[in-house]
Amino acid sequence: MEEDFKKEARKQYLHYFRFWFIGIGILAAACIAAALSARTRDMPRANNEAPKERVYDYADVLTDAEEEDLREYIAKTERELHIDIVLVTFSQSVEGQEAMEQHGLRSADWEQNMRDLADDFWDENRYGYNKGFEGDGVLLLHNWYEGQNGEHLSTSGSVEQRFSVRDIDQVLYAVDDYYATDPHRAYRAYVKEVAKLMDTSLSLPFSWGLVAILPVIVAIIYAVSGASQKKAENTVAVNAYVAGGRPELRNKEDMLIRKNVAARKIETDSGSGGGGHSGGGGHHTSSGGASHGGGSHRH
């Protein structure tokens, strides 16, 4: 009888949740199909306005062979991610009133000028994988000027939408780890980190599928383990009080044996209250009018 009880419990459970199981299965299959499609589809570049060059080493910190290696690595990554990846190095003072007058900068602030220079370079060359000026892509600007050494990461399109402030910092930290001893390795790390953060075609659907399926797995395990537990010796059988197919209540009298009620008054403070806070944020718009996101690190 115990085995029959287990089988009936499992049968009832699967029957009750059958539509949920079917829906989850369809969702999981759709997620896997979408992930495979996203990874295998060929999305040709739609922007023919931007130059083909991706590595602008004005600071001359890379050898010719290193520049060529970066171009090949970037080209391969762009084909996989469908975004433009640009690197610009230079060595120039971008801070203070003198720098403003000498180079025609709009601000005396280092970070503001780095952001403007990166965004302007992107806009003027009309970078963007799917369209010029405001298309999908990312640009790393590295200033090697003594005393003002640092980088700014400018993001556009899908990269701007995807990257959080933490993601941007993660890319810049990857550059910081190697730039002082091996600039070539630092810039490969830049491309690699962007690729890791952008390559979510499988990880995101898989995560959503896991979130959907995991509760089902837990529920099944719980149901099976609960049904398989042995009934305690003093447990009343399911049909113990059933006679002739109808329930029969043996004891029709409720007897109050003991009553012990304790009451406690909870004092309230009439002067108590609460509060809150609010915050906000924004984004930078370059002189050309396109919206970009990004962040800077200064050494």
3-state SS of the chain is: CHHHHHHHHHHHHHHHCHHHHHHHHHHHHHHHHHHHHHHHCCCCCCCCCCCCCCEEECCCCCCHHHHHHHHHHHHHHHHHHCCEEEEEEECCCCCCHHHHHHHCCCCCCHHHHHHHHHHHHHHHHCCCCCCCCCCCEEEEEEECCCCCCEEEEEEECHHHHHCCHHHHHHHHHHHHCCCCCCHHHHHHHHHHHHHHHHCCCCHHHHHHHHHHHHHHHHHHHHHHHHHHCCCCCCCCCCCCCEECCEECCCCCCCCCCCCCCCCCCCCCCCCCCCCCCCCCCCCEECCCCCEEEEEEEEC
Q: What is the pLDDT of residue 211?
A: 52
Tokens at residue 90, please?
Answer: 């230079």
- What is the identity of the amino acid at 273? G
Distance (Å, whole) CA 209 – CA 64: 46
Better-scored residue on pLDDT, 249 or 266: 249
Q: What is the pLDDT of residue 27?
A: 74
Q: What are 71-104's pLDDT values in tens digits?
A: 999 999 999 999 999 999 999 999 999 999 998 8
What is the sign of the dihedral through the CA atoms of 14, 17, 18 and 23?
Answer: negative
- Lowest average pLDDT, out of 145-149, 161-165, 262-266, goes to 262-266
- Lowest average pLDDT, out of 29-38, 75-84, 112-121, 254-263, goes to 254-263
Distance (Å, whole) CA 135 – CA 153: 15
Radius of gyration of the chain (CA): 32
Average pLDDT over every residue of 226-255: 51
Distance (Å, whole) CA 79 – CA 32: 22
pLDDT exceeds cutoff 70 at 38: no
pTM for the complete prediction?
Answer: 0.62
Which residues, in sequence order, are CB contacts of 40 under 8 Å at separation 6+?
A: none
Q: What are 5-24's pLDDT values in tens digits?
A: 677 777 777 777 777 778 77
- Lowest average pLDDT, out of 61-70, 122-131, 209-218, 234-243, goes to 234-243
Cα distances from 126 to residues 50, 132, 134, 267, 272, in angstroms, run 5, 4, 8, 68, 58
Q: Do residues 30 and 24 lie in contact, with contact meaning Cβ atoms separated by under 8 Å?
A: no
| Phi/psi at 49 (5° precision) | -85, -30
Distance (Å, whole) CA 241 – CA 245: 10
Q: What is the pLDDT of residue 234?
A: 47
Better-scored residue on pLDDT, 200 or 146: 146
- Lowest average pLDDT, out of 10-14, 120-124, 160-164, 212-216, goes to 212-216
- The winner for highest mean pLDDT among 20-29, 40-49, 143-152 is 143-152
Average pLDDT of every residue of the chain: 77
Better-scored residue on pLDDT, 42 or 232: 42
Spatial CA neighbour of 183 closest among 57, 6, 23:
57
Q: How confident is the model at residue 227 (pLDDT cuts 50, 70, 90)?
A: low
Q: How confident is the model at residue 4 (pLDDT cuts 50, 70, 90)?
A: confident
pLDDT exceeds cutoff 50 at 182: yes
Better-scored residue on pLDDT, 158 or 292: 158
Query: What residues does 294 pair with on adjacent strands?
Result: 154
| Phi/psi at 183 (5° precision) | -55, -40
Average pLDDT over every residue of 201-216: 50
Q: How confident is the model at residue 185 (pLDDT cuts 50, 70, 90)?
A: very high
Q: What are 133-158's pLDDT values in tens digits?
A: 899 999 999 999 999 999 999 999 99
Better-scored residue on pLDDT, 13 or 159: 159
Q: What is the pLDDT of residue 25?
A: 77
Distance (Å, whole) CA 100 – CA 186: 29
